[in-house]
Amino acid sequence: MTKVNYPEEFAGFAVLDTNEWNKPKYTTYTPKKFDSHDIDIEIECCGLCGSDIMTAKGGDHGWGSITCPQVVGHEIVGKVVKVGSDVTLHKVGDRVGLGAQAFACLDCNRCKHGNEQYCSNGVTTYDGVYSDGYISQGGYASHVRAHEFMCFPIPEGLASVHAASLCCAGLTVFSPLKRYIPTNLPNGEKPKVAVVGMGGLGHLAIQICKAMDADCYVFSRTNSKEKQAYELGAKGFVATGVDGWEKEFFDQFDLILNCAIGLSGLNIDAFLSILKVEGRFCSVGLPSADEKYNVSPFTFFGNGSCLCSSALGSRQEAIELFKMADKYGIKPWIEEVPISEEGCEMALTRAWDGDVRYRFVFTEFGKAFGTNPI
């Protein structure tokens, strides 16, 4: 263990070369300039998100070029250890969460209407660029520095290791479910949601649908996850590896939430046909940059359906999600991994291979960095 020289520097496990995306190395770095609305978080744990892998892989195999060294990780829970002079939302000692966004201007039309996650001047928690050119660094680290508005309180009843995955994966599915699940159906009819892909995102979407009193059906290529889907609260399970599977479900769903990270083999025309009139196919799983949707424009004429995406979620939605998780016992299925060079390599490699049910969470940050985050 090497004790980090905070506050002059932060320490973390950084991707040094995208060709070795799964082999982050211990490094120290200078944090961004501390602004009046910033807080410093001493990190207790951090979830592994698919975004970490797609960013770390860079280039043609991920989401494009990145600036190395790059510390990824944006499912962060920790303790506030420093607050700026204008901070009002948090105090030293508070336990908070931080997701995939570290800054928004809070002054544009989007920010003023509760859509700060779409702020054109926003900065992502890692591999984002601040106005002074500083490249943001993420949560596989001793500390993280972010705007107070992007951080949110964690209810006392939620364990930090469970709260971590909610900061990105949970919020990413909660936002479109809250916005697009209809609440005014006639005759007490329950909304019906199709969740495509049951991984880190999908397994949380099932639980959130249940808490929202919506019937959730899981659509997966094989039956391998059927038992677990029902354990999580799914109403039904559909294996899409059989031709013509969609005919049985014509005109049944209010919303399709696509949580799959890849588009290959995804028959979007078939999925759109199971939507009710003016239903939505909303994608929250992002594939590599070179993948494209393949859908006929004539399909949309059949039911007035639409194809859309959703990014992250707002601060208000994050707070609502954590309250819901605390009330209804929504928890990610996790595997804890002590953070280290070896731990990062193992978890990143296994996550890319799909060998996790359903989320890794890095722990023991105090041991790795000589901090006391709990």
Note the pLDDT tens digit of each residue in 117-151. Answer: 999 999 999 999 999 999 999 999 999 999 999 99
Q: Which residues contact 233 (CB under 8 A, 6 or more apart)?
A: 206, 207, 209, 210, 216
pLDDT at 1 over 70: no
Distances (CA, A) of 159 to 87, 164, 184, 312: 25, 9, 34, 22
Contact 66, 46 (CB under 8 A): no
Q: What is the mean pLDDT of residues 106-126?
A: 98
**Between 50-57 and 341-352, two packed helices, what is the crossing angle to 10 degrees?**
100
In whole angstroms, give the CA distance from residue 312 to residue 150: 11
pLDDT bracket for residue 286 (50, 70, 90) = confident
The model carries a pTM of 0.94
pLDDT at 226 over 70: yes
**Between 171-180 and 315-328, two packed helices, what is the crossing angle to 10 degrees?**
100
Q: Which domains does the chain have, with CATH numbers?
A: 10-153+333-369 (3.90.180.10), 172-309 (3.40.50.720)
Q: What is the mean pLDDT of residues 23-33?
A: 98
Only one residue has tokens 């660029």, namely 129
Contact 195, 202 (CB under 8 A): yes
In whole angstroms, give the CA distance from residue 361 to residue 110: 32
pLDDT bracket for residue 60 (50, 70, 90) = low
User: What's the pLDDT at 154?
Assistant: 97
Distances (CA, A) of 317 to 150, 312, 314: 12, 10, 5
Q: Is 80 left (phi over 0), alpha (psi -120 to 50) or beta?
A: beta
Q: What is the mean pLDDT of residues 227-256?
A: 95
Least confident window among 112-121, 248-257, 287-296, 344-353: 287-296
User: What's the pLDDT at 291?
Assistant: 75
In whole angstroms, give the CA distance from residue 320 to residue 47: 20
Q: What is the mean pLDDT of residues 87-108?
A: 98
In whole angstroms, give the CA distance from residue 270 to residue 246: 6
Contact 212, 176 (CB under 8 A): no
Note the pLDDT tens digit of each residue in 175-209. Answer: 999 999 999 888 889 999 999 999 999 999 999 99
Q: What is the mean pLDDT of residues 30-43?
A: 98
Contact 235, 216 (CB under 8 A): yes
- The mean pLDDT of the chain is 94
- Closest-CA residue to 226 (of 198, 252, 246): 198
Q: Residue 32: beta bridge partners? A: none
pLDDT at 64 over 90: no
- Closest-CA residue to 34 (of 115, 103, 105): 103
Note the pLDDT tens digit of each residue in 146-166. Answer: 999 999 999 999 999 999 999
